[in-house]
Chain A
């Protein structure tokens, strides 16, 4: 194996890392917001007769997002975003980035909804009952009593989802976005080396996911520590 080309093409990989991180960070933030929304839709008590319309919306969305490949979702998102008239004013790689962020964050949101559900259900029922018995509204109780306790379970799990999103962001490659996987392909083409550029990309992915994993572990330990005052 010959890595002598590595120094020369390092800027290429670095700009790839930047894009990978950009897509992943924006996606995980959006996914968290949408995920919480999906959770509230999924558990909504709003009904017309015996039908719960918001639950049906959530259920359909979750099944579609979980039941179809992310790669396909990215391709569909690209077509949909391109069809929007205002997208013609944007540079084409911008359209691709928006499309992949949309698809990745929507896909991840259904998993985050599940994380939020598990986190909230881990808080004993008595906490909500005690809050309500003191006259708090449902949303008050959620905000000051349930969520602050649930977050201890939710945050580390969202960190793990973040790792999945970083890896998943490599699929933005199909839209020609120059993220970390795409960089490897470009360097392959320029150097005629098959394996080495891919290995370099792999190492960068590992550095990202490994350090993130350690960070999550640290946060988790701190939250446990604050449990036993």
Chain B
């Protein structure tokens, strides 16, 4: 579904991604782990071009999205993104947050968008918050709304950028449960996280990144229990 080839990203002199090559298959849950500053988030943000790659190729559904001629807004509707800081629209109610882009971008009718939004709210267990404003919700609730908002565009892939890092520990579970459910339903997901237990449980494949490179990849069983790379072993010994 997504093929990444020799992807590089520089911020000025600083090389953040150093020739990343990997593939994400349909229905696969790929979890990216690694120390802070290893380029995990940048890799994720390159996938929907929130960061413009310096070099290399990203082929999404047989289209090279780094091509200048591509309609990036069209591509982005197929890649849902969930942010560490939720980024809900504070001046809109919960239901408006979910409805706004289907209506504006996909030109879906208001009624249809509303029905869809209500069913998504049910799915993330927040049906009663329809008319609340984001500021009145807990972090965990806000993040679940953010997931619903991304799902409203009916994306083919969901990108999660440390979705639980800004949450109180007791709220992490409710967000991870929604994500687990999503994985079970066969959604293709790329998740950057520090939740190792969750990575092991939900991930089909784990990528370990450090200093802008993928140092090791494999199924969770292998990567967590029998890491080959010395740097992976070192990292895991500190976080597990």
A residues engaging B (CB < 8 A)?
124, 126-127, 129-137, 140, 144-145, 148-149, 227-229
Contacts and interface: CB of A to CB of B under 8 A. Distances in A.
Listed residue (A127, A130, A148) with the most chain B CB atoms within 10 angstroms of its CB? A130
A133 B73 CA distance: 8
A228 B132 CA distance: 11
Contact of A134 (B90, B133, B150): B150
A135 B89 contact: no
Contacts of A131: 89, 101
Interface in B51-96: 73-74, 76-77, 79-81, 83, 85, 87-91
Contacts, number: 63
A133 B104 contact: no
B40 interface: no
Contact of A135 (B90, B133, B153): B153
Given A135-B101, A149-B90, A229-B135, A130 B83 contact: yes
B107 to A, nearest CB: 11
Given A134-B150, A134-B153, A135-B73, A129 B87 contact: yes
B115 interface: no
Given A127-B87, A130-B81, 5 more contacts: A133-B81, A135-B101, A136-B104, A144-B100, A227-B135
A145 B104 CA distance: 12
Interface string B133-155: 10110000000001001100100
A168 to B, nearest CB: 33
B72 to A, nearest CB: 9
A163 B9 CA distance: 48
A148 B91 contact: yes
B101 A136 contact: yes
B105 A136 contact: yes
A30 to B, nearest CB: 28
Nearest to B100: A144
B239 interface: no
